[in-house]
Amino acid sequence: MVSFGQLRNAKIGELDAAWRAWRKQVELLEQAEDAYQDKFLQGVRGARWQGKDAEAAMGTLLPVRTRIRVSAGEGAAIASVLNSAQRKFAAAQRRLNEAIGKAEGNYLKVGPDGSINFPDALPPRYASWQELQQVARNLQGEMAAAVKDATAADNEVAAALHGPQVLDARNPLSQLQKDAGLATRLAGFDPNNIPPKGVKDPKAIAAWWKNLPEEQRHLMMDAYPEKVGWMDGIPSEDRNEANRTRLESRLTELQAKGGNLTTFEKRDLDRLTKLNDAITKYERKGQDLYLLGLDSTTMEKAERRDGKGSDGRAIVAFGNPDTATNTSVYVPGTTENLDGFPKSMNRAFNLHEAAGIYSKGPVSSIAWLGYDAPDDIVKDAPFGNYADAGGPKLNGFVDGLREAQAGAGNPNGHMTAVGHSYGTTVIGEAARHPGDRLRVNDIMVAGSPGMRVERASDLGIGAGHVYSQEASGDPVPSIGRPGHGGPFTTGGGEGLFPGPRPEWPTVPSDQEFGGQRLITDGDGHSAYWNERVADGDPYTFAGPSTSLDQQARVIAGTYADNDPNNDPTLYGDGGPGEKKETWWQKYF
Cα gap 370→386, rounded to integer Å: 11
Q: What is the dihedral of CA 474, 472, 539, 421, to 10 degrees?
A: -30
pLDDT at position 504: 79
Backbone angles phi, psi at 180, to 5 degrees: -65, -35
- Under DSSP, is residue 352 helix (H, G, I), strand (E, B) or coil? helix
Q: Which CATH class is domain 278-587?
A: alpha beta
Break the chain into its structural domains and give their ranges: 4-162, 171-261, 278-587
Q: What is the DSSP string of 149-161?
A: HHHHHHHHHHHHT
Q: Which residues have CB under 8 Å from 374's CB, separation 6+? A: 333, 334, 335, 380, 381, 383, 386, 422
Question: What is the model's pLDDT at position 575?
Answer: 36
Cβ atoms of 79 and 23 within 8 Å: the answer is: yes
Q: Which amino acid is at 32?
A: A
Q: Which CATH class is domain 4-162?
A: mainly alpha
Residue-level pLDDT at 168: 59
Give me the pLDDT at residue 162, please. 67
Per-residue pLDDT tens listing for the chain (588 residues): 888 988 888 888 877 787 777 777 777 777 787 777 776 777 766 667 777 777 777 777 777 777 777 777 777 777 777 777 788 888 999 999 999 999 999 989 999 999 999 998 999 888 899 999 999 999 999 999 999 998 888 887 777 776 555 655 666 777 777 777 777 777 777 888 899 999 999 999 999 999 998 888 888 898 899 999 999 999 999 999 999 999 999 999 999 898 899 999 999 999 999 999 999 999 988 899 999 999 999 888 777 777 778 999 999 999 999 999 999 999 999 999 999 999 999 999 999 999 999 999 999 999 999 999 999 999 999 999 999 999 999 999 999 999 999 999 999 999 999 999 999 999 999 999 998 999 999 999 999 999 999 999 999 999 999 999 999 999 999 999 999 998 754 443 443 444 444 467 999 999 999 999 999 998 999 999 999 876 678 889 999 999 999 999 999 999 888 888 889 999 755 433 333 454 445 554
- Distance of alpha carbon 440 from alpha carbon 465, whole angstroms: 10
Q: What are residue 326's DSSP bridge partners?
A: 363, 414
Rounded-to-integer distance, Cα 541 and Cα 355, Å: 12
Q: Can you give the pTM of this predicted structure?
A: 0.82
Amino acid at site 34:
D
